[in-house]
Amino acid sequence: MAQTQPRDNLLLAALSPQTRRALEPDLTPIRQKLQQVLNSPGSPGDIVFPRTSVISVLTQTGDGQSVENAVVGYEGVFAVDGGATNVKGLVLAEGLAWGMSRAAFERHEDNHEFRAAVSLFEHQLLAFTCQSCVCQAFHTAEQRLARWLLEMRDRVLEDELSLTQEFLASMLGVHRPTVTIAARILQAADMIHYRYGRVTIVDRDALEEACCECYSMLPRPGAGSGLR
């Protein structure tokens, strides 16, 4: 199992030194806990730039069920909407992040470079969300599970993931037996090893072949950064 390396947020790291220096006073180091829900404003992390943490962007129904729209890791930014919509964040992998208050974020939106970087990521997030809609409508559970595991692996940069089947079912918006069958299929093909709430990706290339085209339709985080 690879060790989690301390790393910066790529969106922030790509900014010019001048812009980064202007943001620094408003960036607070925060540690995000596993399964922490991000839906209330006013914390230091109204706006979250993950470093080693990974956030699921979920839409919730009135009776508390939810389905995942996208995943945000060290490549991007997540904004807590404060109850304006049914979208919330859920921490999938605990770790470090930079937090910024909404007031500071709005101040820095005057910075063209920062605004452009955030806007570019928002477009990527919209593409991710649209792709997830297609995925949920047309692709099989094992294709979607393979895709989800690869998306996670690309953001935690580890082959071993701590995940219960119940949690996986909730992320994929399917019943738990469906995840059990899908995981068995991938395990029987020696792509993953699943045991006691821990999934190990054994053959990443085979897993990529097993997943739907949705995975290759989206840019992979860290492309060109040497952190893949």
What residues line the site for Zn ion (CB under 5 A)? Answer: 135, 139, 212, 214
CA distance 184 to 167: 16
Q: How far apart are CB 82 and Zn ion at their closest, in Å?
A: 31
By beta-carbon proximity to Zn ion, the closer residue of 9 and 143 is: 143
Element of type H or E holding 115: helix 112-138
By beta-carbon proximity to Zn ion, the closer residue of 149 and 214 is: 214
CA distance 30 to 43: 10
Q: How far apart are CB 119 and Zn ion at their closest, in Å?
A: 26
By beta-carbon proximity to Zn ion, the closer residue of 117 and 135 is: 135
**Amino acid code (one letter) for 127:** A
In the numeric block, the tokens 């469906």 are attached to: 178
By beta-carbon proximity to Zn ion, the closer residue of 52 and 132 is: 132
Question: What distances in angstroms separate CA 117 from CA 113, 120, 172, 228, one per listed residue?
Answer: 6, 5, 29, 21
By beta-carbon proximity to Zn ion, the closer residue of 32 and 131 is: 131
Q: How far apart are CB 49 and Zn ion at their closest, in Å?
A: 27
Q: How far apart are CB 129 and Zn ion at their closest, in Å?
A: 13
Angle between helix 176-188 and 165-172 (nearest 10)? 110
In the numeric block, the tokens 């992390």 are attached to: 45
Q: How far apart are CB 150 and Zn ion at their closest, in Å?
A: 11
By beta-carbon proximity to Zn ion, the closer residue of 161 and 214 is: 214
Q: How many residues does the chain have?
A: 228
Question: What distances in angstroms separate CA 158 from CA 2, 100, 198, one per listed residue?
Answer: 6, 27, 12
- What's the count of helices (H) and strands (E) in the chain, helices before strands? 9, 11
Q: How far apart are CB 57 and Zn ion at their closest, in Å?
A: 17
By beta-carbon proximity to Zn ion, the closer residue of 48 and 183 is: 183
Burial (CB < 10 A; 0-12, 13-18, 19+), residue 9, is: buried
**Amino acid code (one letter) for 207:** L
Beta bridge pairs of residue 68:
58
Q: How far apart are CB 216 and Zn ion at their closest, in Å?
A: 10
